[in-house]
Amino acid sequence: MSADLSSPSDFADRLVAWQKAAGRHDLPWQKTRDPYRIWLSEIMLQQTQVATVIPYFQRFLARFPTLQALAEASPDVVSAHWAGLGYYARARNLHRCARQIVAVHAGKFPESTAELTALPGIGRSTAAAIAVFAFGRRAAILDGNVKRILCRCFGIAGNPGQAAVDRELWALTERLLPEGDCEAYTQGLMDLGATVCTRSRPRCGDCPLGESCRARLEGRQSELPTARPRVKLPERRTTFVQIGRAHV
């Protein structure tokens, strides 16, 4: 794996400096260490844009201001307040997770990524984000935005959904993780992918990593990450014989 960035620390330093100067700082779930709010925002933001999430997040908190309130609600009530946000398995897992934290962890979020990942609906990257923002832990995220940044910046070909590419990206994101400023670094990855290194029409001129980005240098922004191959529909040949009675 090659890269034009001089070192992992250079990658992190550029990203942290950019986030502090140009990143997002006023989202409703920022400036808090409340794991409930951070967890809720991370679940809602899965496959959903920030602008869509904000009003849902605010209404959801107004109805379920605490983890205990969410755990005590009925599944139908929770689903009703999720209606319109899509991907409804998230709401079901959210409710199951709240009840499990209350029942197993006495209503207190576990702090380690291993324990967080064991909860319903919390994957490896989401667990890392919660650990970083709520508990100040050092942990690497790898959501869709981060995969796009890494594939472009380091020229990694192959569909990120493939196991080998996924392993390579996890190894890379772990290697790039700085020793300090993990919150600004993690938020920087999220902000960069959401606002600059977008799926279409990336704003490469505004990117703090642009001068070293392999995709930009080679004009391959539209090619990376490699798209998932289309499933070829099977072709079948069938012969029909129509039997009818002749009319005289």
The set of catalytic residues is: 42
Residue 68 CA from chain centroid, whole number: 26
Euclidean distance between the first and final Cα of the chain, in Å? Answer: 79
Q: Which two tokens stand for residue 124?
A: 């490896």
Residue 153: phi, psi to the nearest 5?
-65, -40
Q: Which two tokens stand for residue 150?
A: 């890494």
Q: CB-based burial of residue 239 (10 Å sphere; 0-12 exposed, 13-18 middle, 19+ buried)?
A: exposed
Q: Which two tokens stand for residue 55?
A: 């009003």
Q: CB-based burial of residue 24 (10 Å sphere; 0-12 exposed, 13-18 middle, 19+ buried)?
A: middle
DSSP tag of 88:
T
- Is 212 within 8 Å of 176 (Cβ atoms)? no
- Is 10 within 8 Å of 213 (Cβ atoms)? no
Give the C-alpha distances (Å, rounded to integers) separating 232 from 115, 160, 229: 40, 19, 9
DSSP tag of 4:
S
